[in-house]
Structures are given as structure tokens and as C-alpha cells.
Structure 1
């Protein structure tokens, strides 16, 4: 039995939408900062994953739950 390797594509998910990887050279935290410019709520978000789905490694940005005050 031969061992096969498969390259996974990083994908980022937020609020049900998939977002492309802006750069494979970037860390997941750096990607969060890039998308934080468009989605300010990501600044305090947590990162879950990766979850492998087919040929994708999906990282999910989850909003931090908290109370103002």
C-alpha cells in the first residue's frame, strides 16, 4: 500500500461565508488582521480549526461573546 499525500487549500469562514486565503505565507492570525479591516468584529474573534472538508482546511472565525459595560 502506497502512501499518498494531498495538499489542502486553506479557506476561512465567517458568518457562513467562505473567504479565500489572502496568502499562504501568512499565519492564521495575520489573515484575521487582514479580514479585520473589512469585518471589524473579527478583531476580537477566536479562531477555530482547521476542520478538513474534502481538499480544504477550513478555519472558522467565531465572534467573541461578551457584554458591554
Structure 2
């Protein structure tokens, strides 16, 4: 029996916009910090567990206060 290992690509979603994976070996938290330098509104954002879309894991960066009523 042959076992095939499939590696899924990652995409990081911010407010409906897909951001490419800067480095597949980076931890997800490090990717968030990487993009927070470019998009300051991601400072303090939460990482939503990934969903699988075809051959890609999609991680959502949810901004602090997203969906909050006030």
C-alpha cells in the first residue's frame, strides 16, 4: 500500500481579501505579525481556525472589534 502525503497551500483572509503565504514554514501567528506591519488594523486581530477550500487552507484574520456592537 502506498501512502501519499498531500501538502495544502495556505491563504490568509482579511476582510474578504486573500493574502498570500509569505513563507510556508512560518507559524500562523508569525504570519499575522508579518502582515500587521503592513496592515496596522491587524494588530490585536484573532486567527480563526482554518477552513479548507479545494486544496487550500484558508485562515481568517479577524480584526479586533469585528462584529462588535456599540
Aligned residue in 1 for 2:12: 12
In the alignment, which residue of structure 2 is the partner of 1:47? 47
DSSP 3-state at the match of 2:7: coil
CA apart distance, 1:11:
0.5
Q: Which runs of 5+ in 2 are unaligned?
A: none
Structure 1 CA distance, aligned partners of 2:57 and 2:19? 12
- Relative to the length of structure 1, the TM-score reads 0.84
Q: For residue 37 of structure 1, give the secondary structure of its aligned residue in structure 2.
A: helix
Cα distance in 2 between the residues matched to 1:31 and 1:50: 14
Structure 1: give runs of 5+ residues left out of the alignment.
Answer: none
- Which residue of structure 2 lines up, in the alignment, with residue 33 of structure 1? 33
